[in-house]
Amino acid sequence: MVPATIAYHLASRLAYVIGVGTALTLQKRRQWFTRQRGVAAGYLRFRRIAATLMNNDAVSFVLMCWVTRRTLAIPVPPALLVGVGLAGIALGISLKLWARWGLGSEGYHWHDFFEPGATAPKAPPGPYRYLKNPMYTVGYLHAYGLALALGSLPGLILAGFAQLAILAFYHLVEKPHFKQLSAGE
């Protein structure tokens, strides 16, 4: 059960990062979603696919942490691990919600890949005033927090993998797109 759960989460994370990255790249280069359906319908189709991949990724991570709970053997009282973990969960989720509020629903779901003539996004309000990329950096505290609260060593390792994967997505897909929008291409 444990190896299968870990493998399922790894596959889910890769499906999310590679799937959304590929979909956005195809949209940008070939208008994959909007060519036949138009911007509104194409964007909604993409959002449904992306939301499914994102939700599956989140559920697989929670499940994996639960199945691998109490595998973190460090000399710290369990109550302290739970407390630090819950604080990480609260801080990470709060930061993600604050960042999503600052971006708005369309910004959060990469709408500028679908809008002809989109311009570089203005610096949104919220945590973006203080952090360059709060969603993909400090916003991942919730994943580490859950792994700590449940005492999951694979959870901690895969939280790091998840964060590295989303940062790779940022550098390979989002950042070049924003640079191109800023250049006015």
The arithmetic mean of pLDDT across residues 139-146, rounded, is 96
CA–CA separation, 173 and 29 (whole Å):
12
Q: Is the pLDDT of residue 164 over 90?
A: yes
In this prediction the pTM is: 0.92
CA–CA separation, 41 and 135 (whole Å):
27
Host domain of residue 115: 2-183
- Looking at residue 129, what is its pLDDT? 86
**pLDDT per residue as tens digits for the range 2-52:** 999 999 999 999 999 999 999 999 999 999 999 999 999 999 999 999 999
- Looking at residue 125, what is its pLDDT? 80
The tokens describing 70, both together, are 């109490």
- Looking at residue 120, what is its pLDDT? 65
**pLDDT per residue as tens digits for the range 82-122:** 999 999 999 999 999 999 898 888 888 899 999 877 776 67
The tokens describing 62, both together, are 């929670």
CA–CA separation, 85 and 91 (whole Å):
10
pLDDT level of residue 126 (50, 70, 90 thresholds):
confident
- Domain total of the chain: 1
Average pLDDT, the chain: 93
Cα angle 70, 142, 68; round to 5: 20
Q: Is the pLDDT of residue 185 over 60?
A: no
Q: What is the share, in percent, of the chain residues with pLDDT greater than 70?
A: 98
